Structure 1
Amino acid sequence: MSRYPLELTGDDTPMVRFMNVTKRYGELTVLDHLDLDVAEGEMVTIIGPSGSGKTTVLRMLMTLETINEGVIYVDGKPLTHMEKNGALVPASPKYLRRMRSQIGMCFQHFNLFPHMTALGNCMEGPVQVLGMPKAEARARSEELLELVGMADKMDQHPSRLSGGQQQRVAIARALAMRPKVMLFDEVTSALDPEVIGEVTNVIRDLVDAHNLTMLMVTHQMGFAKDISDRVCFFYDGAIEEQGAPEDLFGNPQRERTQQFLSAVKEAD
């Protein structure tokens, strides 16, 4: 691992860096020597056909998947590896847990604790993982539930909430951990069309109000165009094309990008 730096330094250090990252499942290469930087405060959306590797990017950042080659860095420090005797070695479970606490993720399925209220769901991580005093965790959770428009539902259990409401609680729960990076994986795809707007509005508000670094995988091209600083089109385990939303959606340069966007437009 000597060709990879032990730490990234300098004023232009990205919040997230994938450096030559490869992920394989047996003979299948899902990500092929991926290089991707995400600046602090940047909102990057990943689009592409099924099997292109886009969700794998998020799963590797959440350390739900190991990588076969390369290194991922978060805020200048290696995520997938750690320093030992002046070299990078695969990260230990303890190191991974510490680094993972900087990253929040909202999944397609909300994964709320069914036996806890909305407030309890938000408080659990800060108290159990961060060791935050309960009073502080409660105050922060109440503030975040208000931010996502769920202040009047904080004493309700998930079974009493709609899908859109559950997803908004899931966003608040992830934010309660004070992450430096937020990941959104198809957060609207399990929702009814009439409640998609309430979740996308919450994400818009987060983009406007907080300097969070965000990566989002979505199949909603209009939302991606509206909210992103940059859009990356993945194809066959690599970035086929990337750019500002107005450029990528308005004037795609690569034939595969053109074909994908045309197919998505026809499906809509």
Structure 2
Amino acid sequence: MQDVTGFPLELAGNDMPMVSFRQVHKAYGPLVVLDDLDLDVAPGEMVSIIGPSGSGKTTVLRMLMTLEQINGGCIYVDGKPLTHMPRNGDLVPANQRHLRKRRADIGMCFQHFNLFPHMTALENCMEGPVQVLGLSKAEARDRSEELLEMVGMIEKKDQHPSRLSGGQQQRVAIARALAMRPKVMLFDEVTSALDPEVIGEVTNVIRKLVSEHNLTMLMVTHQMGFARDISDRVCFFFGGKIEEQGPPAELFGNPQKERTRQFLSAVREAV
């Protein structure tokens, strides 16, 4: 990991971002996936990330979930370093204990649900709060039932994942992530594995989160209409960088960069 001398030990100020990528670099050998990325996400902001395959979109989320190590720069969440930790007045690469502690602020829903098959919907939601947060089973049950109610799955709480449709499983996965009370929610192509007729089940839940909960959210999606409707800001990634970003109406209605125009034109033709 590259030297981070000069990066602040913590971020501060009234306009402090909830998520901040500072010159974040990620490469696999000669293949550069993120090229000194700078990206700030404000508290309560919903940011959608779009772009062609291989542009670095999902890598942004994987870095935030500490599923992969960055090669340079630093990532902050809620003002504190995620990828690094303070030591003797400097930042050093984070150890596993630091990563586990900081990762508790972040929830993620994947494309392929990843529910525990041997557990019911309710048990899936209770597991993290009990095992990681130390809640009593009664507290975890109350919290999980409230969230399953919110996503429209309370009547299926005693069903195992094999008895649920794809859309139902994804809604349980969202409730499970929310049960950990994250400050930041990440959505990685959460509708791409679903049949078209059930996509609305999941997008409606995310719309509800945006309108009713003050969560900071980042979403990687190929659904341009959904990104346009739900986002505060859309970032178009190309070649490991943000090629263009702005409010949805501006980016979709009047893109300034040729690569953005080409991508949006190709997406429209494919629909």
Give TM-score scaled by structure 1 length.
1.00
Structure 1 CA distance for aligned equivalents of residues 109 and 30 of structure 2:
30
- Select the residue among 252, 257, 261 that pairs with 2:255: 252
5+ residue gaps, structure 1, are: none
Q: What is the aligned partner in structure 2 of residue 26 from structure 1?
A: 29
Give structure 2 stretches of 5+ with no counterpart. Answer: none
| Equivalent residue number for residue 91 of structure 1 | 94
Does residue 45 (structure 1) correspond to residue 48 (structure 2)? The answer is yes
Q: Which amino acid aligns with 1:125?
A: G
Q: Residue by residue, what CA displacement relative to the aligned partner does 1:79-117 show, whole Å, maximum 9, x if unpaired?
A: 000001110000000000000010000000000000000
Could you tell me how far apart the structure 2 residues matched to 1:128 and 1:71 are?
29
Helix, strand or coil at the partner of 2:236: strand
Identity score, percent: 80
- In the alignment, what sits opposite 1:225? 228
**Separation in structure 1 between the aligned mates of residue 78 and residue 250 of structure 2, nearest angstrom:** 28
The one of 137, 140, 143 equivalent to 1:140 is: 143
Q: 1:6-56 deviations in whole A, cap 9, x for unaligned?
A: 000111100000000000101110000000000000000000000000000
Q: Counterparts of 1:251 and 1:65 in 2: how far apart (Å)?
A: 35
Partner of 1:189: 192
Measured in 2, the distance between the counterparts of 1:13 and 1:201 equals 30
Q: Distance in 2 between matches of 1:30 and 1:168?
A: 30
Equivalence map 1:1-268=2 (5 Å):
1-268=4-271
CA distance in 1, matches of 2:264, 2:256: 12
RMSD value, Cα: 0.3
CA distance in 1, matches of 2:16, 2:25: 22
Q: Which amino acid aligns with 2:138?
A: A
SS at match of 1:137: helix
SS in 1 for 2:54: coil
Quote how far apart the aligned CAs of 1:2 are.
2.2
Query: Partners of 1:89 and 1:26 in 2: how far apart?
Result: 23
> After the TM superposition, which segments of 4 or more aligned residues of structure 1 sit over 4 Å from their partners?
none
Letter in 1 for 2:39: L
How far does residue 133 in structure 1 lie from its aligned partner after superposition? 1.0
What amino acid is the match of 1:135? A
Could you state the TM-score of these two structures normalised by the residue count of structure 2?
Answer: 0.99
For 1:27 and 1:132, the matched residues in 2 are separated by 46
